[in-house]
Structure 1
Amino acid sequence: MDISTSGKGGGPYTSTMNLVNSSLKEKYDYRIFEYNTSLGRFISIKRIKDLVRQLREINPDIVHFTGLQLSGFHIAVACRLAGLKRTVIVIRGSSTEALTISFLQRIIIYMLEVATLAMVKTFYGVSKYSSELRLTKPFRKRSSGWVYNLPIMTQKSDSPFSKSDLGFSENDVVVVSVARITTDKGYHILCQAIKNLVDKPTIKFLIVGSGAYLSTMENELAGQSEQVKFLGYRNDVSRILPACDIFVLPTLHETLSNSLLEASEYCLPLVASDVGGVPEIITSGENGFLVPPSDPDAIRDAIVRISENETLRKEMGSRAKEILGEKFSEKSISEKVNSIYKNLLGE
């Protein structure tokens, strides 16, 4: 049995490794094959040949891989060429949702993603939203519904940072955001919201991650350097979150956010855009607030409301962890994946 990954870092890789290291490893022999992005561009014969070679060497009973996107198309073609029919693709999103592609690119990608779904035995989404994307409609009979991402299974750090370690006062309310720092993730919107909070000096911000918009955001907020700190990409987020009070994700499209789930584990109230699968994590008014996408004033208001009410902050944080346990337990998610595997194996 195999799980594909295109490399370390990011949501798909994290979710893949969570599954590989879950209780399912006691029943299944997981092996990783690599999707090598250095082998050619766009539709790459070299990538497909490399995938076929890897798959034939392993000869798996099931191929479980991530898509849709271009990687999903390459792997689906490789499975066909390798004669492997028990295939399941995880829909973590569609490239057609990207904000920076042209109309022609969107049409071509749509056709490739439809072709991918036509080649696999079954598929499931990582959220109800992603399982019901418009392009899945002709293939609903093959759908296995949706299975949420397993929560990040990192051990809580024995040496978490304090607010003072991060350069803040213990009386400050620290708002953290962890993601790729891009406009797709809405960081130009968060940037404006932070500018609108210049009159609230005890509300501090930690921006964790790297990406195309990072340098622009740093320049835009240079005048608020006492209020905003940029940490870049970090592999010790579990040390950072305990020092924080609120988690914010301004994304403009999202199938399901691992970072929101991880923040919930640390009892942080959540502020995020009401898009995609985010409402499947956040119940507005319970474990945080959903805000309209591209609305910096709404982000500002939600942050101020939580930051100025310690009781509300604690109640929402506690509820965030409760919802994590109720909807995203390792046991229930593993059971759903196991059921998909058994159906593929005819058991």
Structure 2
Amino acid sequence: MAEQTLDLAAIAAAARLLEKGALAAFPTETVYGLGADAENPAAVARIYQAKGRPSDHPVIVHVAPGADLTHWSDDLPQEAQQLVAAFWPGPLTLIVKRAAHIPDAVSGGQDTVGLRCPSHPVAIALLQEFKGGKGGLAAPSANKFGNVSPTTAQHVRDEFSDELASGLLGAVLDGGQSEVGIESTIVDLSRLATHGPVLLRPGHISSEQIAAVIGRAPALADAAAPRASGTLESHYAPHTPVAMQHKDDLGETLNRLLNDGRRVALIHYSDLPPASASVRLTADPQGYAHALYASLRTMDQVGAELILVEAPPTGPDWLGINDRLRRAAFGSSGILQQFLDA
């Protein structure tokens, strides 16, 4: 990430708001988070109120570098310590057993808690300032529940304009555009004896990287796995319907829709015919992820009837991207065929 001058006064002011139970949004390297004191159930409830988030959907607790994780979990396995040493600060969330004194508001009523140490300098400075670095901030993505996650401060302001006006959201710290651009990898370590490590959400840190550290690859999520942030089938969705198609079919589909008078927004990385509006992303997975959510938000505002996405490659580096796009398109299942059959 480029060198950034920190607004220490704004960070300190946000920390004081958070200590008083208010909400403050802040940047991380993945997406912007909507933060509250993780040990204040009333404050955490304000996150759910602002987002319109179901109360049984857990949030991730963000901690400062070097935080005492035994405060949050009294059953911290060796694998957690190994992954912390390898990837923190960074885009990896670990699900571990929750210590009894930690309110279950952050876990959706489960006996687990998700922990992460972000690498964004503004997030680190805020976490070090908040409660002298000894607290934790519950911080799901700073958007209305199910919507596209924000990767700039302006996205947050647009999403929560009413909450900013009412004072429910007390501050938005600006840290530029999020570098990674999709949410953290989530690994469940709470059932190692029975299930081993389990990948609940793919992200920037791959299963192969995790396996290289702990000696075994995480299994895919099972029916009994803990609920975790961002794992519902329909999620990360713009208001405009989304459909994905492979580039071999996309050109013909696009021409048919446009000839039928449909207004189509296109997100692509290959050479394709022009659409009503379009954005071309890089074919590099890191660059693609960095720009994905901002592109979805932009295409959501052009008045299109459909956002057509060229299906990304399917290699391991693209797993997190394909996961997010699949969830973004889930609620629009069948819409493309309806348009073509009309």
Answer 1 or 2: which has greater helix percent.
1
Q: Same fold (TM over 0.5)?
A: no
Q: What TM-score does the superposition give when structure 2 sets the normalisation length?
A: 0.32
- TM-score by structure 1 length? 0.32
Structure having greater relative contact order (Cα 8 Å, sep ≥ 6): 2
